Amino acid sequence: SQQGEEDPQALSIQEGENATMNCSYKTSINNLQWYRQNSGRGLVHLILIRSNEREKHSGRLRVTLDTSKKSSSLLITASRAADTASYFCATDSFSLNTGFQKLVFGTGTRLLVSP
C-alpha cells in the first residue's frame, strides 16, 4: 500500500528555474524523507523532516511539512541539469503487529532540467 503520493508525476524545467514537488500521505507520521534516484542507480537520501518541524533547508533544497494537511513539498532552487532525476518521498509506518517501523515510498516525480 502506498503511503505517499507525489505530484506531479513528471516535471520539465529550464536550468536556473525552481522545481517544486509535492507529497501527500494518509496516516500520521513521525518523519518524512525525500530521496533522489538518478537513472539506473540506487536511491540517495536527501533530507529528513520530523513531524514537529515545519521547514528544513539543505543547500538548494527546502522541505516543508504540513501535518494538518498530511502533505510535504520539496523545493529545489536554481536547478541544474545535474538535478535531473526521480524524487521520492518516504514516510515511516509502524506496525502494531510486529512492532517494526518501516519506510513506505511514493511513486516519485521525474524531474528533467534542460540546459
Partner 1 sequence: DAGITQSPRHKVTETGTPVTLRCHQTENHRYMYWYRQDPGHGLRLIHYSYGVKDTDKGEVSDGYSVSRSKTEDFLLTLESATSSQTSVYFCATGRGGETQYFGPGTRLLVL
By CB under 8 A, the residues from 36 to 65 that bind partner 1 are 40-45, 48
What is the tally of helices (H) and strands (E) in the chain?
A: 0, 11
Among 71, 72, 79, 93, binds partner 1 (CB under 8 A): 93
Stretch that binds partner 1, among 17-25, 63-71, 75-83, 85-93 (CB under 8 A): 85-93
**Under DSSP, is residue 83 helix (H, G, I), strand (E, B) or coil?**
helix
Residues binding partner 1 (CB under 8 A): 1-2, 30-31, 33, 40-45, 48, 88, 90, 92-94, 98, 100-108
